[in-house]
Structure 1
């Protein structure tokens, strides 16, 4: 009982917390911004589409919550994260919670794109930007004696589907870095939470873009972004270290052989030859 109470005591108090959410223009990021605002958080929201961020900020303000600080930024550009961190610290007067949610999906053959500009930009968003924002904002959290870093990864890290290698590799790298960071911050007042969404009803659904033979296979219905956002807030308040949502997505993460089997079965239904046509 004592250890459980201690763990809960380390949870994040959101009322008045200063929170940066990247990728806030749609999907999980947008839903999470609304949920956090409803719990009294003061937000800075980031995405490339400024008009979407303005709509979000106006909606949050109209609901009687503090209007978020709108910071349009393209995290696929190297060096943007450092300037963004400075703007957040100045605009909010500090930072309590960093949510690295922005992500870019790439569905393409590695033989076709190689290490070109498109996939390097995607890796910048999916991995390097979260690492850079963490490095830039962590000192402020340590100095304040409180804070939390939330990294949103994906179950694709454990399911190596064809043509999803770039996205899966980026999210796997972020997941590994998140686990290492948690050990690095052991004994400090800064929490580290990995959020691993399963199939979510967002614009980033690579399964629909894969070159299937016929219709895509039937899978469990995707969960709503609002449900994921509610679960993230609950995990933050409890001081959890990892959130896998929905819980069914735990299987390939805890039993990697299941993820490899799912990928192998999926690969049999993917028309790889058509996708690679013209490469040779």
Structure 2
């Protein structure tokens, strides 16, 4: 098992859900954390909680990954002690709406494409060159079962996650000949704020998504991410698809009454 003690781990979308769960598991293993998200207060609360539990080194960034200039500035202005990033976890992502394509919201489309694809690309483009230069690093992209199987109303979201799958595969090929590893972790149903965000804050509708089902938790996904990162240096876990036992595909779900 590869140690992450004192390694610098950069996590986007770190203020909640899978990002926050990743922060916790890596903090517990002695990593140093760069936590980035838009919600500053949530980030600060998470950092306070982690410091109390693990006394870990944390650097916070209030960052919207959709803003290319902000991403460039954030990476180029990192303090020297935080500049040599060992692990990048591209977790920031979201889904908006379940409209049919011909009835979809342009604003929802832009938000998903700008966050799920372009934001991931911006971070990767600015961080991976340093990994290549230092001859070490690991990029973990949080994808989705939606990148493998489409479902009604998922059109653009599924398209963005299919792009993450292709980008991850392409990055792995482009880094061939270097020791840098690339992994895509693609979960099915995970009970986080995902559905609440999808339905624009409609918590009642979001709750029905998980009714009668035991979904994955954010900790389940973080555990898989941690497993992939801590394999021996010569081992690359290219892709992991994980779903709850109650789910067999994007549309086949066992709901107990």
TM over 0.5: yes
- Residues 65, 123 of structure 2: 8 Å contact kept: no
Note the residue ranges of structure 2 that are not aligned, 5 or more in a row.
none
1:205: Cα distance to partner? 2.7
Q: 1:219 to 1:188 in 2, by over 3 A?
A: farther
1:106: Cα distance to partner? 1.3
1:153: Cα distance to partner? 0.4
121-130 or 233-242: bigger deviation: 233-242
Deviation per CA, 1:173-223: give whole Å up to 9, x if none: 01111011111111201000111111111110379859x9xx769774211
- Residues 27, 203 of structure 1: 8 Å contact kept: yes
- Residues 88, 94 of structure 1: 8 Å contact kept: no
TM-score, scaled to structure 2:
0.84
Q: 1:143 to 1:249 in 2, by over 3 A?
A: farther
**Partners of 1:43 and 1:125 in 2: CA distance:** 21
TM-score, scaled to structure 1:
0.77
1:27: Cα distance to partner? 0.6
Aligned to 1:42: 32
Q: 1:220 to 1:53 in 2, by over 3 A?
A: same
**Partners of 1:191 and 1:201 in 2: CA distance:** 28
Aligned to 1:274: none
Aligned to 1:228: 221
Q: 1:109 to 1:95 in 2, by over 3 A?
A: same
Aligned to 1:5: none
Q: Determine which of 224, 236, 241 is the counterpart of 2:238.
A: 241
1:117: Cα distance to partner? 3.8
Higher-Rg structure is 1
Compute the RMSD of aligned alpha carbons: 2.8
Give the helix-richer structure, 1 or 2.
1
The reply to whether residue 131 of structure 1 matches residue 121 of structure 2 is yes
Q: 1:91 to 1:127 in 2, by over 3 A?
A: farther
Q: Secondary structure, in 3 states, of the residue corresponding to 1:169? A: helix
**Partners of 2:68 and 2:197 in 1: CA distance:** 28
**Partners of 1:216 and 1:38 in 2: CA distance:** 31
Provide the aligned length of Structure 1 versus Structure 2: 242
- Residues 4, 230 of structure 2: 8 Å contact kept: yes
Q: 1:131 to 1:192 in 2, by over 3 A?
A: same
Q: 1:33 to 1:87 in 2, by over 3 A?
A: farther
The reply to whether residue 69 of structure 1 matches residue 62 of structure 2 is no
The reply to whether residue 187 of structure 1 matches residue 187 of structure 2 is no
Q: Secondary structure, in 3 states, of the residue corresponding to 1:44? A: strand
Deviation per CA, 1:236-267: give whole Å up to 9, x if none: 11142222223769965xxxxxx6xx48x9xx
Q: Determine which of 42, 51, 56 is the counterpart of 1:52.
A: 42
- Residues 214, 244 of structure 2: 8 Å contact kept: no
